[in-house]
Amino acid sequence: MSGGGQPSEAAAVMSALVPLPVILPLCAAGLKLAIGARLERLQRFISAGVLAAVLVVSLVLLVAADRHGPQVMFAGGWAPPVGIVLVADRLSALMLVISSAVTLCVLVYSVGQGMADNDEVTPLSVFHPSYLVLVAGVSDTFLAGDLFNLYVGFELMLTASYVLMTIGGTLSRIRAGATYAVVSLLSSMLFLAAVAMVYAATGTVTMAQLPARLDALPDGVGMLIHIALLGVFAIKAAVFPMAAWLPDSYPTAPAPVTAVFAGLLTKVGVYAILRTQTLLFPGHRIGDVLMVLALLSLLVGILGAVAQTDLKRLLSFTLISHMGYMVFGIGLATHGGISGAVFYVAHHITVQTTLFLVAGLIERRSGTTDLQSLGGLARLSPLLGVMFFVPAMNLAGIPPLSGFLGKLGLLRAGIDDGGALAYVLVAGGTATSLLTLYALAKAWNLAFWRAPTPEMCAAGTVLEDTEADSDDDEDEDEAALGPYTRSTAPHVVLDRWEPAPVRRRGAATFGGQEITTSATLPPSMTVATAGLVLFGLAFTVLAGPLFSLTDRAADELIARTPYVEAVTR
């Protein structure tokens, strides 16, 4: 079954395509587990090919959902409430496209990191199957047409994410993984209890059947169910005050894992909040509570970011902060607010993932992400400087980048709302944007713009001294060496400081050993990161068509009837 307006044959084809973003990664994960650590090139080809196919299918579903309405698949031909239903409307299809593009780039990055680490066994035999299961879980949550299948999608993500977070078995990763697992298991138990409450009160968990039945419930029962579901999803989305677990969990994992966690997993929680608020509880007064939580997330998160001296932790706190923009749009519950929230989710997935990948390249180049120990990277690696600067300014909301356009849409929606709380959120959002710019500018100045630190010199950082250098430049280079001189600085060869492989305590590769720094960045890691930088810039170039799409998605979400009729007729 498919959306209206399609011929029966086309509807059947679209219906068959809907489950593929879930099925293909799961089948590939099983195949790769069967192969084990053998046939390395074949395994890389399988992973990349499957994720590329998922991207193509997602694009087809997005076009079909935009032209013909929600695309629906009933597993085994069983209609709800008996069977499992998967639904691809404009919102879920757009999220599938963004997530599949991002996960494909991160996979290419991870292949390059595994090759640079000279540690092929762990990424191939453990990382790739777990990563594919994670992708399947993300796709399942976006497509789930009932609450229990949504719960299954979250559990798929939890199982895979714990393996990915603890890969290599270092003490810091095990500790962070344990924290993450405890929080996730607790939220899963609450989610299962909430699903049981919904079924006990309404006799169904199919989301298309719930709106009419939830509206008929007593106010107290409906409020309890609403609070239970939103509480669970707020933990998943790391909305303040349920976000304390995130800064200590994400930065310890390998760079590709941290990037996909920061970019995608929290947005799955936002997607669930958005779906719940628009489909199940539209116009509910809990929207004011969401706006208060959005304000607290904006301010507490960015103040935490300003206080950080480690780049990964700084980015983790900006992640918490910018969740507030998305929740702000959902709390407004207006057309402009929802459209702005959808646009900002798509933008933030890409930009936040890119910044964490760049942090991994910085760690590869210098051996650390401690801003106090970094310096001179703009001179030593101009490409790395560009790849950090562009998404950083995008996240900060510098015109005319997509971060500015997304924030402008949300702030305009707040002004159009006209309420006192909305105006407070507008002021808080503006202040947060300025503080984000300050935090990222500070990171840029410390890591890229200032002269190299003694720690960078000790790590074998390249400092070139050519005949064209002026005496002032030589004096500056001498000052940058601190306790080192030209005769005692490490790795001096003639008049050039050459990089040498060194190990940095605290930074670890996939397999758990300490990272080996290098003067040149691995090509596949660089290409994948640059691809995401360009993908983020495409949001600016295509902002007009993308906003038109998010406007249509907002109309569909507010109307509710296209989703309900596509499933129940």
CA distances from 526 to 131, 258, 388, 516, 521 (A): 20, 17, 12, 16, 7
Per-residue pLDDT, 498: 40
Q: What is the mean pLDDT of each run of 10 residues along the chain (569 residues)?
A: 61 82 92 76 86 95 92 82 87 95 92 66 72 94 93 91 81 81 88 93 91 88 91 90 81 84 90 92 81 94 92 93 94 92 95 94 86 86 92 93 94 90 94 95 90 59 40 44 40 38 53 68 88 94 94 93 87
Rounded distance between C-alpha atoms, residue 148 and residue 84, angstroms? 9
Which residue reads 């890119």 in tokens?
354
Beta bridge pairs of residue 71: 88
Rounded distance between C-alpha atoms, residue 407 and residue 348, angstroms? 11
Estimate the share of the chain in helix, then strand, then coil, as percent rounded to the nearest 5.
75, 5, 20
Rounded distance between C-alpha atoms, residue 386 and residue 255, angstroms? 19
pTM assigned to the model:
0.88
Per-residue pLDDT, 265: 87
Domain range summary for the chain, segments of one domain joined by +? 8-452+509-568
3-state secondary structure of 550: helix
Per-residue pLDDT, 479: 43
Which residue reads 């923009």 in tokens?
325
Q: Which residues touch 364 (CB under 8 Å, ≥6 apart)?
A: 113, 116, 515, 517, 518, 521, 522, 525
Residue 503 phi, psi (nearest 5): -110, 135
Beta bridge pairs of residue 496: 464, 493
Per-residue pLDDT, 372: 87
Per-residue pLDDT, 475: 47
Task: Look up residue 376 and give its two tokens.
Answer: 């001179």
Per-residue pLDDT, 220: 87
